[in-house]
């Protein structure tokens, strides 16, 4: 079964320690509990740990075996978990040989992922804003960032958004024959005074013609979602909406705030006991909040699918 791109959810966010694996793992379990066939892929290319968190013993095979072509059939990487309907693809044993993956290799991997027999694939991305991480984030249908209400995490999230948008514009410019226009503008110390997504949007709009058509299309494609984790106070809760507002004002980008997860002792306990929260504390506040976020994303996807079907029928 060839799956649609929108059925791939990537969980990223720049900074380490914000709870990406926690969110990815529990979302995977929630989808499986809803009757979907789900694959969790650990794409932390340097420090894969999703198997530990899921209570799976140290895997003998992982992503690096497929990238290095030691295993050619990606389905051979699937490890069953204790949760019915949920399989795991473990991350790389070491990040050295896949630290600088070519874009074609990433596409090969993603194409292999899409051909797996699954309804949903949830990707747990590594920390940082390397091209690897950003590219996997962009190649997914639902792009979800996990942020905690701390200055460094918020700052990293903005950097991640900026890098992701610039990277998307760079990749897609080839199709519009604008690569030669876009490449010099995206350089760090460019003479065009383009430093933010807003600067880039304004610059391409000024050029007019195909550049304007192109950047409008990129804006409609780029809609990352944000989940705020480890929320303690009412002030913390405001971080999500204020990030959405700041992105719109200073970047001209549409960021979707999906909701927040309250900090709770049960989360730490579940990590220490290697027991996913969805199984150990399914009725606790954080899991109820994540359930709502998960069903909102599913609802949004189904609305988008209907809209796209309608548009493709009108185009016929």
309 band by pLDDT with thresholds 50, 70 and 90: confident
What is residue 109's predicted lDDT score, i.e. its pLDDT? 85
Is a pLDDT exceeding 50 seen at residue 246? yes
- Residue at 304 is within a domain: no
Confidence of residue 3 (pLDDT cuts 50, 70, 90): low
Pair 54, 81: CB distance under 8 Å: yes
User: How many domains are contained in the chain?
Assistant: 1
The answer to the question of residue 202 being in a domain is no
Residue with tokens 């990590």: 271
Domain membership flag for residue 276? yes
Residue 192 lies in a domain: no
pLDDT at position 1 is: 42
Cβ proximity of 280 and 270 under 8 Å: yes
Q: Give the pLDDT score at 101.
A: 75
In a domain, 195, yes or no: no
Closest Cα to residue 225, out of 30, 83, 12? Answer: 12
Higher pLDDT, 296 or 96: 296
CA dihedral of 307, 10, 83, 117, whole degrees rounded to 10:
60
pLDDT for res 302? 86
Whether residue 171 is contained in a domain is answered as no
Q: How confident is the model at residue 60 (pLDDT cuts 50, 70, 90)?
A: confident
- Tens-digit pLDDT profile for residues 158-209: 999 999 999 999 999 999 999 999 999 999 999 999 999 999 999 999 999 9
186 within some domain:
no
SS3 156: helix
Question: Between residues 290 and 59, which one has the greater pLDDT?
Answer: 290
Range of the domain at 142: 5-154+223-298
Q: For the chain, give the mean pLDDT.
A: 89
Q: Given this model, what pLDDT does residue 162 score?
A: 96
pTM of the model: 0.91
Residue 4: pLDDT above 70? Answer: no
Q: pLDDT at residue 2 above 60?
A: no
Tally of helices (H runs) and strands (E runs) in the chain: 14, 8
CB of 243 closer than 8 Å to CB of 162: no
Instruction: Please say if the pLDDT value at position 236 is more than 70.
Output: yes
CA 277 from centre of chain:
21
Mean pLDDT of 35-58: 80
Task: With respect to residue 50, please indicate whether it lies within any of the assigned structural domains.
Answer: yes
Q: What is the pLDDT of residue 270?
A: 86
The CATH number covering residue 239 comes to 3.40.50.300
Read off the pLDDT of each residue in 13-32 and give the average, rounded to a whole number.
90
- Note the pLDDT of residue 194: 96
């Amino acid at each position: 079964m060839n799956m649609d791109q929108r059925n791939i959810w990537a969980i990223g966010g720049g900074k380490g320690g914000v709870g990406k694996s926690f969110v990815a793992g529990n979302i995977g379990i929630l989808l499986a509990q809803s009757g979907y066939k789900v694959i969790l892929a650990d794409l932390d290319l340097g420090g894969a740990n999703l198997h530990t968190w899921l209570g799976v013993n140290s895997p003998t095979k992982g992503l690096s075996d497929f990238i290095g072509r030691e295993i050619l059939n990606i389905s051979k990487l699937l490890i069953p978990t204790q949760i019915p309907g949920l399989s795991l693809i473990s991350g790389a044993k070491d990040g050295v040989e896949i630290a600088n993956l070519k874009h074609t290799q990433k596409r090969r991997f993603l194409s292999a992922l899409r051909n797996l027999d699954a309804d949903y694939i949830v990707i747990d991305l590594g920390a940082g804003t390397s091209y690897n991480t950003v590219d996997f984030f962009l190649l997914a249908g639902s792009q979800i960032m996990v942020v905690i209400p701390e200055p460094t995490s918020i700052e990293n999230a903005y950097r991640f958004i900026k890098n992701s948008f610039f990277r998307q514009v760079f990749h897609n410019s080839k199709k519009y024959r604008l690569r030669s226009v876009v490449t010099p503008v995206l350089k760090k110390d460019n003479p065009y005074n383009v430093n933010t997504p807003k600067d880039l949007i304004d610059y391409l709009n000024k050029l007019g013609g195909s550049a304007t058509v192109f950047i409008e299309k990129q804006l409609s494609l780029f809609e990352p979602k944000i989940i705020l984790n480890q929320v303690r106070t009412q002030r913390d809760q405001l971080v999500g909406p204020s990030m959405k507002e700041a992105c719109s004002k200073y970047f001209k980008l549409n960021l979707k705030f999906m909701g927040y997860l309250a900090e709770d002792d049960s989360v730490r306990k579940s990590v220490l006991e290697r027991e996913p929260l969805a199984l150990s504390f399914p009725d606790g506040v954080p899991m109820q909040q994540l359930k709502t976020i998960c069903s909102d994303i599913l609802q949004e996807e189904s609305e988008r699918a209907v809209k796209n079907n309608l548009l493709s029928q009108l185009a016929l």
